[in-house]
Amino acid sequence: MNPGRLRVALLSGGKSGEREVSLKSGNMVSKALDPMRYEVKHYDPSSDLERLVRDSANLDVALIILHGRWGEDGTLQGLLDLLNLPYIGSGVMSSALCMDKRASKDLYRHNDLPTPRDLVVDRENRTRPDRIIQDLGLPVVVKPACEGSSLGVGIPRSQAELESALDEAFACGRWALVEEFLEGREITASILGNDQLTALPLIEIIPGQDYNFFDYEAKYKPGASREICPAPLSEELTRRGQDLGIKAHRALYCRGFSRTDMILKNGSYYILETNTIPGLTETSLYPQAAAAAGLSFDRLMDRLIELALEK
């Protein structure tokens, strides 16, 4: 045993609908951590929180490799703050803001960042579908207000499909977001850093012909989508996309790393959402962007840990 090793709590699994993705990410991260530098202990928040609390005084840093609610939404970050245990990624407030698409879109607009028009719909006081169509037209994008990985997302093209899509979104929670549909190129901007921010190369996402959009399966099934990194864009469009990623990161008070997803239509970007814990599987976008910037996966994890301890 090397007494100089950092004692790392690797948190993956959890209770959200993205549990399996989290476990895959956690396994990949675990393999990337140099055993000469790190002593790694694994915790699944769905069953191991009591053990984590007991062990916390003998831990140096936590790697939150969780997605969705109860991991990416500020709840676990709050527990780690109480335990005085540093962790990678954003804090409680930023995590909660980014998970709740209603709040994040309000902050985009407050900071003059372009985002699609939308309506917030309440399951308990439901807006009539015909009024939604009157305001936003068809097709629209329907998504739960507080989910990730495109869970519960649909693109209805008729009133009947809209009603069905709302039912599916409401199965995930009380609030749903209905956005105008913008047909364009899907671009994602990955940001690394605390105070000094680095925009990694942009990625263009092209879902396979079997997918209407970059849904859960298209995200995580190997070969289901094509990702081009760096994205084939002009220098000007690249600069603007990276700049928007940095501005979104700052507008939502992110730390460590983030990934902002956008649509590029007719030369204009529209921000869809910002992720505070991007996926870290073999098919995930953030590691691809880091690799294109010359940052291997193991070095990326080293850097995220450095940023966590810097906080």
Q: pLDDT tens across 83-134, in order?
A: 999 999 999 999 999 999 999 999 999 999 999 999 999 999 888 999 999 9
Q: For 235-255, what is the mean pLDDT?
A: 98
Q: Which residues contact 92 (CB under 8 A, 6 or more apart)?
A: 74, 77, 78, 81
Output the pLDDT for position 210.
Answer: 61
Range with the lowest mean pLDDT among 44-53, 142-151, 243-252? 142-151
Are the beta carbons of 12 and 2 closer than 8 angstroms? no
The pLDDT assigned to 220 comes to 47
pLDDT tier, 21 (very low <50, low <70, confident <90, very high otherwise): confident
User: DSSP H helical segments within 33-158, as ranges?
Assistant: 49-55, 75-82, 92-99, 101-110, 129-136
- Across the range 47-75, mean pLDDT stands at 94
How many whole angstroms from its chain centre is CA 227?
17
pLDDT grade for 262, boundaries at 50, 70 and 90: very high
pLDDT digits (tens, 9 = 90+) for 181-230: 999 999 999 999 999 999 999 999 998 766 555 544 544 455 667 899 99
* Distance between CA atoms of residues 48 and 26, nearest Å: 15
Q: Which residues pair with 122 in a beta bridge?
A: 125, 175
**Percent with pLDDT over 70 in the chain:** 93
List the catalytic residues.
Answer: 18, 149, 220, 259, 261, 273, 275, 279
Mean of the pLDDT values across residues 142-149? 81
pLDDT over threshold 70, residue 152 = yes
Token representation of residue 225: 């989508």
Task: Give Cα 102 distance to the centre of its chain.
Answer: 15
Give the tokens for residue 67.
């997605």
Residue 311: predicted pLDDT: 66
| Contact criterion met (CB below 8 Å) for 20 and 219 | no
Question: Among the listed ranges 154-163, 172-181, 187-196, 279-288, which one has the minimum average pLDDT value?
Answer: 279-288
Burial, 143: exposed, middle or buried (Cβ in 10 Å; 0-12, 13-18, 19+)? buried
**pTM tops 0.75:** yes
Q: What is the mean pLDDT of the chain?
A: 92
Q: What is the pLDDT of residue 150?
A: 67
For 59-71, what is each residue's pLDDT tens digit? 999 999 998 888 8
Q: Which of 32-41, 44-53, 145-154 has the lowest mean pLDDT?
A: 145-154
123 three-class SS: coil
